[in-house]
Amino acid sequence: MDKQLILEDGTVLIGEGFGADVEISGEVVFNTGMTGYQEILSDPSYCGQMVMLTYPLIGNYGINRDDFESLNPAIAALIVREVEHEPSHYREQESLHDLLVAKNIPGIAGIDTRMLTRKIRAHGTVKGYICSLSVQVEDVVKMLQDSPLLTTQVSQVSVNTAYHVPGKGKRVALIDCGMKHGILQSLIERHCDVVVVPYDTTAQEIKRLGVDGVLVSNGPGNPEDVPETIQTVASLIGEVPLFGICLGHQLLALACGATTSKLRFGHRGSNHPVREIETGRIDITAQNHGYTVDLDSIEGTELMLTHEAVNDGTVEGLKHRYADAFSVQYHPEANPGPHDANDLFDRFIGMMHTAKTNVLV
Ligand X SMILES: NC(=O)CC[C@H](N)C(=O)O
The set of catalytic residues is 246, 331, 333
* Binding flag, residue 221, ligand X (CB under 6 A): yes
User: 291-324: b or e for each residue (b if 16 or more CB lie within 10 Å)?
Assistant: bbbeeebbeebbbeebbbbeeeebbbbbbbeebb
| 124 belongs to an annotated ligand binding site | no
Show the binding pattern over residues 236-275: x = contacts ligand X (CB under 6 A), - = does not.
Answer: ----------xx----------------------------
- What is the Cα–Cα distance from 315 to 246, expressed in whole angstroms? 11
DSSP H helical ranges for the chain: 37-41, 96-102, 113-123, 137-146, 153-157, 181-189, 203-208, 227-236, 247-255, 343-354
76 near ligand X, rule: CB under 6 A: no
Contacts with ligand X by CB under 6 A: the residue count is: 11
Nearest distance from residue 223's CB to ligand X, in Å? 6
33 is in an annotated binding site: no
Report the nearest approach of ligand X to the CB of residue 100 (Å).
Answer: 21
Q: Helices 227-236 & 247-255, crossing angle to 10 degrees?
A: 70
Of 62 and 244, nearer to ligand X (C-beta) is: 244
Shortest distance (Å) from residue 286 CB to ligand X = 10
Of 3-11, 95-103, 189-197, 215-223, the window that binds ligand X (rule: CB under 6 A) is: 215-223
Stretch that binds ligand X, among 163-171, 198-206, 213-221, 341-349 (CB under 6 A): 213-221
Q: Which residues contact 35 (CB under 8 A, 6 or more apart)?
A: 55, 270, 336
Verify binding: residue 73, ligand X, rule CB under 6 A. Answer: no
Return residues touching ligand X (CB under 6 A).
Answer: 45, 218-221, 246-247, 288-291
